[in-house]
Amino acid sequence: MQLSREALQRAYRQMKVIREFEERLHTEIQTGEIAGFTHLYCGQEAVAVGVCEHLDIDDKIVSTHRGHGHCLAKGCELNGMMAEIWGSREGLCKGKGGSMHIADIDKGMLGANGIVGAGAPIAVGAALSAKIDNKGKVAIAFSGDGACNQGTTFEAMNFAVVTQAPCIFVFENNHYSEHTGVDYAVGTARDIASRAEAFGMKVWRADGTDFFAVHDTMREVLDFVRGGGGPAAVEFDTERFFGHFEGDPQRYRAKGEIERIRESRDCLKNFRISVTGAKLLTDADLDQIDQDVLDSIEAAVVAARAADRPTPEDVLSDVYIAY
Amino acid sequence: MAQMMYRDAVLTTIAEEMERDSSVVVLGEDVVGGMGTPGGPEAIGGIWSTSTGLFDKFGKDRVIDTPISESAIIGAAAGLALAGKRPIAELMFADFIGVSLDQIWNQTAKFRYMFGGKTKCPVVIRMAYGAGYNAAAQHSQSVHQILTGMPGLKVVMPSTPADVKGLLRQAIRDDDPVIFLEHKALYGMSGEVPEGADQIIPFGHARLARAGEDVTIISSGLLLGFCEAVADKLAAEGIGCDVIDLRTTSPLDEEAIIDSVEVTGRVVVVDEAPPRCGLAADICALIAARAFASLKAPPQAVTPPHTPIPFARELESAYLPSVDKIEAAVRHVLGWR
Ligand SMILES: Cc1ncc(C[n+]2csc(CCOP(=O)(O)OP(=O)(O)O)c2C)c(N)n1
Ligand SMILES: [Mg+2]
């Protein structure tokens, strides 16, 4: 289905926001100003955006440790996220969660997660709630190729099948879990979808670096699940452009691998080539978006730096009692 | 004596024990690092550098890189042990006991007793614990409080490279399951380490890190060093502190605690885990029961508050025990009436 000019611009903008958010963090982290562990989503933007462009605020998603892209795509506010990563009191989680725990429940974003594999069962619960409410809403569990090896993920898939929960398991296969290759760690290497299929789910597979492939696939998946077809799974083949975490020496990569994937598997570059080639948008249209995005990221960083810091008393709030 | 970092003490002890005993096996996530990648095995060699080179030396049957499956890692370690091996399982972060708790608690810990003594269960479960890196609520926790409460487990918290050596060697040779807690902030600590393959520290024997007669400070792991700093500061004022490094929280060296408190009558227990039903409360109860008559002041605990661990720098430092907080508690008991 042909997307409108507005829809194309929006999708590009969303992907670009994620890209520049992460590129900027990559730079900022070098200075030591940002605390904690940060896992960047660069390279995988087409998945988050291709999935979330189909969702509305009442659909839920559950994310991972590599959560910034999912959060932004689901509508978490840019400044609130930046402030959270800066550990500010004005952050989405008041500086208590940080990069690995960004959540915005009102936006249907049920949390990034520091525990690999913890998300899938939570998504099943959200899907069961949607089933009770019976308004055609769904829940999405984002998982990596590493997370697909956790028992929790297996349990969640079977649970969703037997309860016919409207849950979609989105596996982002970026070929690595930390420093380990998918060929070693996943018995059905490069075919995570077949596992989901074995649990009794309908499955799809697509190129996760191609926005249009993701978006078209997700339309089918969502029609199926919203239509009461039960849970489903999708495996997207994708790439992570940075290290597992910031500071990762990445000695497990092939020589020239990063240059190669940045050259040929960049969802933003490929999007630009397709839409300008098909004369749907011009380079000038896209350049304008690029500039707007860079300005908004700059503004978010400036705001995060200036934002209120938490105070020691804040440690004791948001918990039922403090001893 | 050799100068060695805490993390190297872990690595060399494992290597020496693997050399000595072919039943010793290592398993965990990224303990080889690089498996199935263009860079190949040992491209990274474990995220804490505590298993670097083991794969090349001992091969893939004894150095097992696992998928992200903590429940199966601990379960497999238990099975290896029941079948006669001496597994050393690594949980990358102590927080991941959450994923593997049944295998730790209902399986590994209970086999020897539940099976009427018919088996040993020589499993070592190593894990990196502790806060200080703004790693937030799921990557910063101190879990000894939970695990010490589980009958059947021994729990070790070394505070120096020398203690890593002696205690890890004991852990590997021990016939019971041992939780071996390595503080992230200590991995880079350098210290003198006695040489010799028989340098063993038996469990349940605390170390007197500083000696004094005015107050007893009890701790373990990272915070032990904070307590030493307080003791050194007070020594300059003529105040003497006994600083007791518990080394193992199970078994607990009750005698060392009671003997010291009987002399000083004043005690501060310092712990990085949450306060409720925890180590500090446990030790204060022990002292109340066994050294009541010697007490000159109510025992004080310095712990974090009963909250999850917050992310932001300001919040995490407000959360954690510090040298200042320990000093204040010590002055409080010293000033009591
Ligand atoms: C239960 C648990 N085990 C291990 C880790 C450490 N860890 C964090 S991310 C990660 C790799 C995850 O790989 P994958 O699911 O493929 O996600 P990706 O990092 O590629 O996005 C590991 C092992 C963790 N956070 N939680
Ligand atoms: Mg991955």
Whether ligand 1 lies within 6 angstroms of the CB of A177 is answered as yes
Ligand that lies nearest to the alpha carbon of residue B67, given by its number in the listed order? 1
CB-CB: which of B38, B68, B96 is closest to A253? B38
The residue of chain A nearest to residue B309, with distances taken between CA atoms, is A96
Whether ligand 1 lies within 6 angstroms of the CB of B6 is answered as no
Q: Does B308 sit within 8 Å of A319, measured CB to CB?
A: yes
- Token pair, residue B2, equals 């050799």
φ, ψ for residue A312 (rounded to 5)?
A: -55, -35
Give how far B313 is from chain A: nearest CA, Å: 7
Q: How far is the CA of A147 from the centre of ligand 2 (A)?
A: 8
Output the average pLDDT for chain B.
Answer: 97
Which comes out higher in pLDDT, residue B195 or B271? B271
Mean pLDDT, range A79-96, rounded to an integer: 98
Q: What confidence tier does B234 reach under pLDDT thresholds 50, 70, 90?
A: very high
Strand A232-237 versus strand A167-173 pairing type: parallel
Fold match flag (B2-193 vs B207-334): yes
Mean pLDDT, range B314-319, rounded to an integer: 98
Neighbours of ion ligand 2 (CB under 5 A): A 144-145, 174, 176-177
Give how far A279 is from chain B: nearest CA, Å: 39
Tell me the C-alpha distance between A231 and A11, whole Å: 26
What's the pTM? Answer: 0.97
Mean pLDDT, range A261-268, rounded to an integer: 98
Tell me the C-alpha distance between A56 and A21, whole Å: 22
Whether ligand 1 lies within 6 angstroms of the CB of B98 is answered as no
How would you classify residue B264: left for phi > 0, otherwise alpha for psi between -120 and 50, otherwise beta? Answer: alpha
Q: Is the pLDDT of residue B258 over 90?
A: yes
Q: What was the pLDDT predicted at B46?
A: 85
Q: Which residues on A lie below 8 Å from B275 (Cβ)?
A: 323
Q: Does B312 sit within 8 Å of A310, measured CB to CB?
A: yes
Looking at ligand 1, which residue's alpha carbon is closest to its atom 5?
A116
Looking at ligand 1, which residue's alpha carbon is closest to its atom 22?
A178
Alpha carbon separation from A84 to A95, A211, A313 (Å, rounded): 5, 28, 18
CB-neighbour burial class of residue A249 (10 A; exposed 0-12, middle 13-18, buried 19+): exposed
Whether ligand 1 lies within 6 angstroms of the CB of A115 is answered as yes
* One-letter amino acid for residue B217 of the chain: I
Tell me the C-alpha distance between B89 and A236, whole Å: 32
Q: How far is the CA of A100 from the centre of ligand 1 (A)?
A: 11
**Which DSSP string corresponds to A99-136?**
GGG--BGGGTB----SSTT-HHHHHHHHHHHHHHHTSS
Q: Is the pLDDT of residue A323 over 80?
A: no
Mean pLDDT, range B248-265, rounded to an integer: 98
Q: Where are the domains of chain B?
A: 2-193, 207-334
Q: Does A314 sit within 8 Å of B43, measured CB to CB?
A: no
Q: What was the pLDDT predicted at A190?
A: 74
Q: How far is the CA of B262 from the centre of ligand 2 (A)?
A: 56
Q: What confidence tier does B195 reach under pLDDT thresholds 50, 70, 90?
A: confident
Q: Where are the domains of chain A?
A: 5-316
Q: How far is the CA of A183 from the centre of ligand 1 (A)?
A: 16
φ, ψ for residue B3 (rounded to 5)?
A: -85, 130
Q: Which residues on B lie below 8 Å from A146 (Cβ)?
A: 67-68
Nearest Cα residue to A164 out of A97, A209, A112, A231: A231
Contact indicator for A249, A31 with CB cutoff of 8 Å: no
Output the average pLDDT for chain A.
Answer: 97
Q: Is the pLDDT of residue A322 over 70?
A: no
Q: Which residues on A lie below 8 Å from B43 (Cβ)?
A: 179, 251-252
Give how far A306 is from chain B: nearest CA, Å: 15
The length of chain B is 337
Strand B178-183 versus strand B207-210 pairing type: unpaired
Which residues of B belong to the active site? 139
- Token pair, residue A289, equals 């978006």
Q: Does B34 sit within 8 Å of A251, measured CB to CB?
A: yes
Whether ligand 1 lies within 6 angstroms of the CB of A114 is answered as yes
The residue of chain B nearest to residue A252, with distances taken between CA atoms, is B39
Tell me the C-alpha distance between A293 and A44, whole Å: 18
Whether ligand 1 lies within 6 angstroms of the CB of A68 is answered as no
- How many pairs of residues across A and B have Cβ atoms under 8 Å apart? 169
Q: How far is the CA of A65 from the centre of ligand 1 (A)?
A: 7
Best mutation site among A22, A64, A65, A192 for ligand 1, i.e. most ligand atoms within 8 A of its Cβ?
Answer: A65
Q: What was the pLDDT predicted at A2?
A: 85
Tell me whether the omega of the peptide bond preceding residue B305 falls within 30 degrees of 0, making it cis: no
Q: Does B276 sit within 8 Å of A179, measured CB to CB?
A: no
Residue identified by tokens 């597994």 is B87
pLDDT in tens, A134-188: 999 999 999 999 999 999 999 999 999 999 999 999 999 999 999 999 999 999 8
CB-CB: which of A147, A184, A254 is closest to B35? A184
Q: Which residues of B184-208 are buried (b: 16+ CB within 10 A; e: fewer)?
A: bbbbebebebeeeeeebbebbebbe
What is the percent of chain B with per-residue pLDDT over 70, rounded to a whole number? 100
DSSP state of A67: -
Whether ligand 1 lies within 6 angstroms of the CB of A175 is answered as no
Looking at ligand 1, which residue's alpha carbon is closest to its atom 20?
A177
Give how far B213 is from chain A: nearest CA, Å: 31
Whether ligand 1 lies within 6 angstroms of the CB of B99 is answered as yes
Q: Is the pLDDT of residue A1 over 80?
A: no
Q: What confidence tier does A49 reach under pLDDT thresholds 50, 70, 90?
A: very high
Q: Which residues on A lie below 8 Å from B30 (Cβ)?
A: 178-180
Helix axis angle for B6-20 and B161-173, nearest 10°, is 30
Q: Is the pLDDT of residue B334 over 70?
A: yes
Q: What confidence tier does B196 reach under pLDDT thresholds 50, 70, 90?
A: confident
- Please say whether the dihedral angle defined by the alpha carbons of residues B227, B230, B232 and B235, taken in this order, is positive or negative: negative
A5-316: which CATH architecture? Answer: 3-Layer(aba) Sandwich (3.40)
Those residues with Cβ within 8 angstroms of residue A119's Cβ, 6 or more apart along the chain or in another chain? A62, A63, A64, A111, A113, A141, A142, A143, A147
Q: Is the pLDDT of residue B337 over 90?
A: no
Give how far B35 is from chain A: nearest CA, Å: 5
Tell me the C-alpha distance between B113 and B152, whole Å: 8
Three-class HEC string of chain B: CEEEEHHHHHHHHHHHHHHHCCCEEEEEECCCCCCCCCCCCCCCCCCCCCCCCHHHHHCCCCEEEECCCHHHHHHHHHHHHHCCCEEEEEECCHHHHHHHHHHHHHHHCCHHHHCCCCCCCCCEEEEEECCCCCCCCCCCCCCHHHHHCCCCCEEECCCCHHHHHHHHHHHHHCCCCEEEEEEHHHCCCEEEECCCCCCCCCCCCCEEEECCCCEEEEECCHHHHHHHHHHHHHHCCCCCEEEEECCEEECCCHHHHHHHHHHHCCEEEECCCCCCCCHHHHHHHHHHHHCHHHCCCCCEEECCCCCCCCCCHHHHHHHCCCHHHHHHHHHHHHCCC
Any idea which fold B2-193 has? Answer: Rossmann fold (3.40.50)
DSSP state of A26: H
What is the percent of chain B with per-residue pLDDT over 90, rounded to a whole number? 97
Best mutation site among A116, A149, A154, A241 for ligand 1, i.e. most ligand atoms within 8 A of its Cβ?
Answer: A116
Mean pLDDT, range A202-222, rounded to an integer: 98
Nearest Cα residue to A230 out of A170, A164, A168: A164
- Selected for mutation to probe chain A from B51, B140, B315 (highest A CB count within 10 Å) is B315
- What would the CATH number be for the domain defined by B207-334? 3.40.50.920
Q: Is the pLDDT of residue A189 over 80?
A: no
Whether ligand 1 lies within 6 angstroms of the CB of B70 is answered as yes
CB-CB: which of B39, B307, B318 is closest to A252? B39
Q: Which residues on A lie below 8 Å from B318 (Cβ)?
A: 312, 315
